[in-house]
Amino acid sequence: MKKHTILGSLALVLGLMAAGASFAEDTESSATEPKTSLGKEVRAKIANMTPEDRKAFFADRKAKWDSMTPEQRAAFKDAIRSPIAGMSKEEREAFRAEMKEKFDKMTPEDKAKMKDHMEHRAERMEHRAERMEHRAERMEHRAERMEHHAERPGK
């Protein structure tokens, strides 16, 4: 696993942890409040769901994600990252400081748990990439067999 991939994943987890921390604060959404960010809206919606609704919601999200092409997934990821990418240097520094503060407040057990989770996630991503490569090779081989079979006379 490349070091920059792990660091990038760690940064993503810290961002998600920040979202999780604010998730606990945003337990209700109100129609009278001004428009908030999409992330806050979704977190508030999820917070107000029953466990069964939440399970169905995430199953639906997973199905949508699985049906996306790699280009669609990249565009979706870019849309999520764009708020950070669109920040000024000062805003990014403030965001990083806030994330660092939240990370520093974590217990050693939580930090170890997060590290284990990130390592496990990295292993899963690597395994998935290997599976996808293997599938692509199988499909290529299958196409070659079908061409060969179609070229045979009398078939």
Residue 26: pLDDT band with limits 50, 70, 90: very low
pLDDT at res. 97: 92
State residue 153 phi and psi, 5-degree precision.
-70, 150
pLDDT at res. 17: 57
* Structure-derived torsion over alpha carbons of residues 95, 96, 101, 107, reported in degrees to the nearest 10: 120
CB atoms within 10 A of CB 14: 19
Dihedral over Cα of 110, 115, 120, 126: its sign: positive
- Asked if residue 96 has pLDDT above 80, the reply is yes
Residue 11: pLDDT band with limits 50, 70, 90: low
The pair of structure tokens assigned to 100 is 């660092």
Are the C-beta atoms of residues 43 and 26 closer than 8 Å to each other? yes
pLDDT at res. 9: 62
Q: Can you spell out the DSSP letters for 95-135? A: HHHHHHHHHHHS-HHHHHHHHHHHHHHHHHHHHHHHHHHHH
Residue 24: pLDDT band with limits 50, 70, 90: very low
Q: What is the mean pLDDT of residues 28-54?
A: 70
**Segment 98-155, tens digit of pLDDT:** 989 998 999 999 999 989 998 998 899 899 989 999 998 998 888 888 888 888 776 5
pLDDT at res. 34: 45
The pair of structure tokens assigned to 124 is 């899963």
Report d(CA 152, CA 116) in Å as an integer: 54
**Segment 48-92, tens digit of pLDDT:** 888 898 889 888 888 888 898 888 888 888 777 777 777 788 888
pTM (2 decimals)?
Answer: 0.35
